[in-house]
Amino acid sequence: NVNLFFDDKVLNGFMGAGGNATGIDDFNGDNFDHTGLGFIGGGNINCGSGATRPIEVRPVPQGTPRWGSEWKKAAAKYFNRSCSVAIQGACQSYRGNYLDLDPTYRDAYGLPLLRMTFDRHENEHKMSVYVTNKAAEIGKAMGASKMNVNPRTGKYTIVPYQSTHNTGGTVMGADPNTSVVNKYLQSWDVHNVFAISAGAFPQNGGYNPTGTVGALTFQALEAIKTKYLKRPGALV
């Protein structure tokens, strides 16, 4: 994302809501020329006021001390004079990103926990730098006095909040050898198990998956109602 700081504008970000952002798709998917960029995919760019809270949200310009009187002055000054231009970028599917059963850690019932092995690749790093720089151009046009430009280029870490719209794990496909569920989100192995979730996605695009999950849910429920209940078994 790109954090914007204004010396001459009061934005009242605490009055906002998560759904009032404005987004553009100019640099998402195949909507732009990728010639010479060295990556595929892209991301949506959005800006809005998300009901910022004074304890949770304390943005300060880069170079501000991390504590002390100068930090306090900057936090107080820019709480109501800052906003963010955010990017939600795509992440491609890689064989080295997978879920398996943890060989060491178990839950309260003695069952192995789910273990995630994941990292971004050079494609995602290049995409993030490119699209984040486009977001910075938007911030400059908005008249920001200062900007923090924050592309994702390092190793993946789950520590800072990024998104709770997780995808993958029960991938949908046409071949039971390379997927977990069929197009109706029905398990290839156990016909009365339907895994209706964003787990069906092989990767994450430049959007939250919610709308597509809703469409897949309607498709699965229609198949259950009109086909499966009449004759239980594999639908494909």
pLDDT digits (tens, 9 = 90+) for 61-109: 999 999 999 999 999 999 999 999 999 999 999 999 999 999 999 999 9
Number of Cα atoms under 13 Å in the Cβ half of residue 79: 15
pLDDT mean over 155-178: 89
Mean pLDDT value across the chain:
93
Q: Residues with catalytic annotation?
A: 165
Whether residue 50 is predicted with pLDDT greater than 80 in this model: the reply is: no
d(CA 88, CA 67): 30
Range of lowest pLDDT (49-58, 115-124, 172-181): 49-58
β-pair partners for 148? 3
- Quick check: 90 and 165 in contact, CB under 8 A? no
| Residue whose C-alpha is closest to residue 86's, from 37, 155, 135 | 135
Question: Looking at residue 133, what is its pLDDT?
Answer: 98
Whether residue 52 is predicted with pLDDT greater than 90 in this model: the reply is: no
